[in-house]
Structure 1
Amino acid sequence: MPPTNTDQPLNITVAPEVHDLVPGFVPLVVEARGLSNGPSDERSSALLDDAVRRLTERLAGRAPHEDPHLAAWRDAYTAFGAKPSRTRNSAEALARRALADGGLPRINLLVDLYNAVSVAHLVPVGGEDTDHILGGMRLVRAGGDEKFETAAGGEPVVEHPEAGEVVWQDDAGVTCRRWNWRQGVRTRLTEDSVNAVFLLERLAPMPLDELHTAAGELAEGLRLLSPAAEVTVREAD
């Protein structure tokens, strides 16, 4: 697949029907070019360990879904017909995993970084390889016939979202199902990724200042991991 235009910011939009469904939704975009990714190491492991510490202090014994921001995400999932206790938003799923015996997985430098930001701030964060995105990215309510490339049992599988489901998509198909529940394999970040876009997704009552703080933490982490990278932070259109 030919890469998207990497000399210009990736076009990222949110459809009006999504804003109508869940007023107060605000996505921040962190876009980076010239990254140097690689296997998880002591730096990324330390970030994840610190995120778990911050999460534990923040929750103070509560379950993750009792946090007001994650409770709002459960309401948003219910609004488009998903069952939030079965298909949890990415921040809640990571927080539950962080508190379990096995802890957070180590994937690669970039994924570890954005997972750490997600857990520390209890905000869904997704990362996509822009060299595998066709056209721009759009958050829409699915028609039901869109293609979603995933894997099952180690084999490639094509699924389709449910009609009305909130999904991220590009010109080639769905990149993430149920808003931020499951990412597709086509655009995920690998150790070879050099250009990426990260989406931080906020609902009320999360303060906008905290969303910007989380985005700034992610941007600073990217600059530390890849000093030569060009990193920008902006709102989606």
Structure 2
Amino acid sequence: MVAGPIIDDRIFGLAPGFRALSIFVNCGDSADGSAATQVLTEACEAVLAGEPAWAEAHLASWGETYLKFGAKPNRTPCSAQALRKRVLKDGRLPAINPVVDLYNAVSLRFAVPVGGENLDAYAGKPHLTIADGSETFDTTMSGEAIVEHPAVGEVIWRDDIGVTCRRWNWRQGSRTRLDALSGRMWFVLEALQTMPDTALDAAGDAMCQGLRALLPTCEIRRHEVSA
């Protein structure tokens, strides 16, 4: 496990009510448990029913925050907004793998951006900071690996090598993408002032319960990050 994440003080200037739940997971020798195959379907059904009550206010706050650092939320929305739009349009999300399905389901049910990262691919600690434009971001375009650079002033997650997620929580990079239930994993649930504290706690509970179902003897460390 690693300590962190580290939050740049300037982030709280952009979003004074920002706080996050950080969840580190060490799979160790944990045997695979059972995936709740209906969890993603049930989350999509909750979105279609208009849940949760704070969804529109919370996602609107993310849009306003994106505008503060020069992003265009209609073109590049936060991850929770993007997932919700897909469900409202198509009625469902396709399954990817158990761990991605779990954190997508938590994101949908609680209208909260959730990131899942392969911690073994990290160099140093996760940092939430503001880009100077020189950082590298590994991604793909038309199936080909490419390297991008964030805009100056863009909010990014990064490690000692480069950017792991652009525009705060819009697009995850290729290098640290989580695609297996093994090794060390890190999840972050990010909230603004319009999400109730009790809801963020409940989202963290749902994430940890789902992880324990998938990996019954894994080690989980959870803590809140705020100003």
Question: Does 2:131 match 1:142?
Answer: yes
In the alignment, the residues of structure 1 paired with residue 9 and residue 107 of structure 2 have an alpha-carbon distance, to the nearest angstrom, of 26
In the alignment, the residues of structure 1 paired with residue 206 and residue 115 of structure 2 have an alpha-carbon distance, to the nearest angstrom, of 15
Q: State how 1:68-87 maps to structure 2 within 5 Å.
A: 68-87=57-76
Q: Deviation string for 1:144-175 (max 9, x for gaps)?
A: 01000001111110000000000000001000
Q: Deviation string for 1:89-134 (max 9, x for gaps)?
A: 0001001112222621211111110000000000000000000011
Partner of 1:51: 43
Partner of 2:11: 18
Q: Give the counterpart letter for 1:209 in structure 2.
A: T
Match of 1:228 among 208, 217, 227: 217
Contact 1:150 1:184 in 2 (8 A): yes
Question: Does 2:180 match 1:191?
Answer: yes
In the alignment, the residues of structure 2 paired with residue 207 and residue 13 of structure 1 have an alpha-carbon distance, to the nearest angstrom, of 23
TM-score by length of 1: 0.88
Q: Give the counterpart letter for 1:84 in structure 2.
A: P
Contact 2:48 2:91 in 1 (8 A): no
Partner of 2:162: 173
TM-superposed CA distance for 1:44, in Å, is: 4.6
Q: Percent identity?
A: 44
TM-superposed CA distance for 1:59, in Å, is: 4.5
Partner of 2:205: 216
Q: Pick which of 9-18 and 166-175 moved more.
A: 9-18
Partner of 1:152: 141
Q: Give the counterpart letter for 1:55 in structure 2.
A: V
Q: Deviation string for 1:70-101 (max 9, x for gaps)?
A: 00000000010011100010001001112222
Contact 2:2 2:125 in 1 (8 A): no
Q: Deviation string for 1:30-67 (max 9, x for gaps)?
A: 111117698xxx9454110010112222349x9x9x70
Partner of 1:28: 21
In the alignment, the residues of structure 2 paired with residue 236 and residue 70 of structure 1 have an alpha-carbon distance, to the nearest angstrom, of 20
The runs of 4+ residues in structure 1 deviating greater than 4 Å are 35-38
Partner of 1:5: none
Q: Pick which of 205-214 and 170-179 moved more.
A: 205-214
2:49 aligned counterpart, secondary structure = helix
Gaps of 5+ in 1: 1-7
Contact 1:44 1:112 in 2 (8 A): no
2:90 aligned counterpart, secondary structure = coil
Number of residue equivalences: 224
Contact 1:37 1:192 in 2 (8 A): no
TM-score by length of 2: 0.92
In the alignment, the residues of structure 2 paired with residue 37 and residue 47 of structure 1 have an alpha-carbon distance, to the nearest angstrom, of 21
Question: Does 2:124 match 1:124?
Answer: no
Contact 2:133 2:150 in 1 (8 A): yes
1:86 aligned counterpart, secondary structure = coil
Q: Deviation string for 1:178-223 (max 9, x for gaps)?
A: 0000000100111264310100000011111110110111001000
Q: Give the counterpart letter for 1:11 in structure 2.
A: G
Q: Give the counterpart letter for 2:41 in structure 1.
A: D
Gaps of 5+ in 2: none
